């Protein structure tokens, strides 16, 4: 499969399919992480994060592939390893030789966001599994309300829709309280 087709797959939301191709890069990443002193679980974390970063990036409308996907993903992984170690050592020096400035920023943003919303994610997952499933189906899987209603056993499309808005309301209230109680109040 060409890189272009892979990006098409991601843009069309067929992430599982794309991931099965993307995992061909995984062994090389494991090797790299181990060589730079990391463990297998470090490599697992780095690669999974890199997959999230890459897919989110590829889904953006203005995304343009400037190198092969392998190089691209490997670059993200390298930066992640570096960034995570820097975080660990609290060393604030930036290594400018790693990738271009913009890629670097997206990785920093990603890690920053993950940190900031950790508490929120936990609450979302724990308190509203059913709601989260519904929201996932609608926003991420982009299923029609009819299909969602069928899969989750709602009486009809309307009641599924109402439930969805209720879920958002509930989640929004949760988000508010969590964000106010956590140290990071800014959004």
Q: Give residues in contact with another protein (CB under 8 A).
A: 15-16, 19-20, 23, 26, 44, 47-48, 51-52, 55-56, 113, 117, 120-121, 124-125, 132, 135-136, 139-141, 162, 165-166, 168-169, 171-172, 175-176, 179, 187
> Nearest distance from residue 95's CB to another protein, in Å?
26
Q: Which long-range contacts (CB under 8 A, 24 or more apart) does 107-111 make?
A: 107/53, 107/76, 107/79, 107/80, 107/83, 108/83, 110/49, 110/52, 110/53, 111/49, 111/80, 111/83, 111/84, 111/87
Please, which residue, 91 or 109, has the CB nearer to another protein? 109
Please, which residue, 40 or 67, has the CB nearer to another protein? 40
Please, which residue, 95 or 158, has the CB nearer to another protein? 158
> Nearest-5° angle of CA 21, CA 115, CA 28?
30
> Nearest distance from residue 93's CB to another protein, in Å?
29
Task: Give CA–CA dist 63/10, Å, rounded.
Answer: 11
Please, which residue, 65 or 178, has the CB nearer to another protein? 178
């Amino acid at each position: 499969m060409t890189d272009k087709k892979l990006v098409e797959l991601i843009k069309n939301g067929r992430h599982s399919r794309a991931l099965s191709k993307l995992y061909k890069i995984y062994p090389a990443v494991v090797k790299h992480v181990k060589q730079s002193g990391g463990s297998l679980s470090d490599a697992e974390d780095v690669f999974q994060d890199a997959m999230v970063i890459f897919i989110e990036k590829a889904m953006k409308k203005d995304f343009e592939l400037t190198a092969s996907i392998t190089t691209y993903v490997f670059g993200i992984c390298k930066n992640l390893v570096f960034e995570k170690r820097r975080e660990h050592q609290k060393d604030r020096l930036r290594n400018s030789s790693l990738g271009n400035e913009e890629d670097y920023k997206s990785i920093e943003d990603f890690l920053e966001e993950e940190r900031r919303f950790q508490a929120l994610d936990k609450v979302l997952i724990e308190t509203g599994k059913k709601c989260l499933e519904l929201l996932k189906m609608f926003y991420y899987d982009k299923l029609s309300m009819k299909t969602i209603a069928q899969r989750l056993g709602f009486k009809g499309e309307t009641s599924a829709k109402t439930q969805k808005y209720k879920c958002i309301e509930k989640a929004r209230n949760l988000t508010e309280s969590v964000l106010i109680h956590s140290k990071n109040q800014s959004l």
